[in-house]
Chain A
């Protein structure tokens, strides 16, 4: 069993959340390779934004399996859970909601089988609580 570190530097590009959003895309997480065959991806998501007269914070964690679409292209469907806080002045309310993430990754060819560099496009969404993040990033696999 080996651990693959997926360090991502994602750039938040668009979403359904209102303007003025501050979103922090955390590193992509890491993946676990078992028997050189299965890769289980772990992902983190954090966002903070103002909506009308209150603030919303998301912190999410998700897990998924990488599926190869082509030699260099892979898709990572993930499911997880997000903790959502909304705050207005001193009052605050928290709850949990499912988190759905689909990540597409394009990996460049490298001589090393353990070091890869690539681009990723990630879509995190949950219509029930009204969030939808689309971001792209660059990352390494070690």
Chain B
């Protein structure tokens, strides 16, 4: 009996130790709460720091959106069941004037991330402006979701998911790589075409 209790205890302790998969099963890879702050070192033409802060929750057309201030610009994210969407207003410039097409909810992140998955969404708009038919194309493709670990500023982040995001707007495309850590969120971003790199310096998350 004593042996059994001891063996069970050892097994429980051994199995209860840090389990990578259990972390990935339960962690939040996009923890948005009002007051959460992330500070990044930005390496580009000039090195500087950028602060990302969840400012408020705003209700727009019945949807509760998190207003996230990224270096002075406000972006809106919505937490849905199993996913995060980002709102984006689509415009075009015609004869020097800004023509609005509408607001789209792009699938920013699927939760929980699963290695090897990919998703895409395409939006097509057309509008008649001053007798001319204007068209707008916008698409997002996320692929190459891989599970990895990453060292940033001597901090080792484990159970990190990396993904590649391709945003195509009309004839322009931007490819970015993003890394998300469990219960922290975005820790790194890279845009190879511009040699732009964001790396997490500090963060403060509300309980």
Contact = CB atoms under 8 A, between A and B. Distances in A.
Please determine whether chains A and B interact with each other in the same assembly: yes
Interface of A: 51-54, 64-65, 77, 79, 81, 84, 86-98, 100, 126, 128-130
Given A53-B83, A77-B8, A129-B26, A88 B15 contact: no
Contact of B25 (A53, A88, A130): A130
Contacts, number: 78
B21 A52 contact: no
Contacts of A98: 11-12, 15-16, 19
B115 A93 contact: yes
Given A54-B114, A91-B117, A129-B21, 6 more contacts: A52-B82, A53-B83, A54-B82, A89-B117, A97-B21, A97-B25
A93 B24 CA distance: 10
Given A91-B145, A92-B116, A129-B22, A52 B8 contact: no
A92 B114 contact: yes
Given A65-B4, A92-B114, A86 B25 contact: yes
The number of chain B residues touching the other chain, given as a range, is 20 to 34
Interface in B14-40: 15-16, 19-22, 24-26
Nearest to A88: B114
Given A52-B82, A129-B25, A93 B114 contact: yes
Nearest to B117: A91
Nearest to B21: A95
B111 interface: yes
Contacts of A77: 8
Nearest to B15: A98
Contacts of A53: 81-83, 110
B79 to A, nearest CB: 11
B21 A84 contact: yes
A81 B117 CA distance: 26
A95 B81 CA distance: 23
Nearest to B118: A91
A65 B2 CA distance: 12
Interface in B126-159: 145, 147
A52 B111 contact: yes
A45 B110 CA distance: 29
